[in-house]
A = this chain, B = another copy of it.
Amino acid sequence: MVKAKGFHHGDLKRALLGAALELLDEQGDAGVGIRAVARKAGVSHAAPVNHFKDRRALLTGLAIKLFDDIQTNISKRLESVSNDPAMRIESVVKSFFEYGAEHPNRYALLWRNDVVDHECDEMRIREDAVYDFICNEINNLTAGRNIDTDTVAIGLWSMMHGYIDLKIVGMFEEREDSVTGEDRPEALIKMFRTIFDQYGL
């Protein structure tokens, strides 16, 4: 939709990512095609190749942007959280829960191995940033004790991601109604806190 005057666009790369995001929200990643994005940005079908050599590159670029948005969300939320490591971890988990619920198509794209290149540096850096943050806080918890940080981190991350992903798939649709009234994500967080307790954290 964004367009400038003249032959050259001026800021096409940003415009393409914007159009791609809209299409992603509306139709999922299947709707984010090079031609469709170009159309929405008001340029010819071959224009994007100057900024993204591939459809894969386009979607990878989009995923990187999304990851940055998540990081922003996380940081903003963390500002009003105490220094208690468990609280800070909980805060990050909540950020992801919210993001997955509000933008399912965006969250799903992040983990699509076939259309997003997770090997590239720009992607790895951002994944590491979140992962390392969690590991760091876990380390603050375990300090000194003989507990493998990665095991706890992977367990936490797995449960968090699995819940969001399966919820997007619709796996829990007819099973979440019959609850105790308590919010389910909250219950999951509480459940993981029992792991911490068990480990004596």
Measured CB to CB, the residues of A under 8 A from B are 28-30, 108, 111, 113-114, 118-119, 127, 131, 148, 150-152, 154-155, 157-163, 165-166, 168-172, 175-176, 178-180, 184, 187-188, 191-192, 194-195, 197-199
| Contact yes or no, B162 A114, CB < 8 A | no
| Contact yes or no, B179 A151, CB < 8 A | yes
Query: A131 — which chain B residues lie within 8 A by C-beta?
Result: 171, 175
Task: Name the residue of chain B whose CB is nearest to the CB of A171.
Answer: B127
Query: A188 — which chain B residues lie within 8 A by C-beta?
Result: 151, 154-155, 158
| Contact yes or no, B175 A154, CB < 8 A | yes
* Copies of this chain assembled into the complex: 2
| Contact yes or no, A162 B170, CB < 8 A | no
| Contact yes or no, A194 B198, CB < 8 A | yes
Query: A172 — which chain B residues lie within 8 A by C-beta?
Result: 154
| Contact yes or no, B108 A169, CB < 8 A | no
Distance in Å: Cβ of A24 to nearest Cβ of chain B: 12
**What separation, in Å, do the CA atoms of A159 and B158 have in the docked complex?**
5
Question: Which 4 pairs between the two chains have the least Cβ-Cβ distance?
Answer: A162-B162, A158-B162, A158-B163, A159-B159
**What separation, in Å, do the CA atoms of A171 and B156 have in the docked complex?**
13
Which of B111, B162, B169 is close to A159, meaning CB atoms less than 8 Å apart? Answer: B162
| Contact yes or no, A179 B148, CB < 8 A | yes
Which of B30, B166, B178 is close to A114, meaning CB atoms less than 8 Å apart? Answer: B30
Query: A29-B114, A157-B166, A166-B111 in contact; A151/B184 too (CB < 8 A)?
Result: yes
| Contact yes or no, A150 B178, CB < 8 A | yes
**What separation, in Å, do the CA atoms of A163 and B159 have in the docked complex?**
7
Query: A161 — which chain B residues lie within 8 A by C-beta?
Result: 162, 165-166
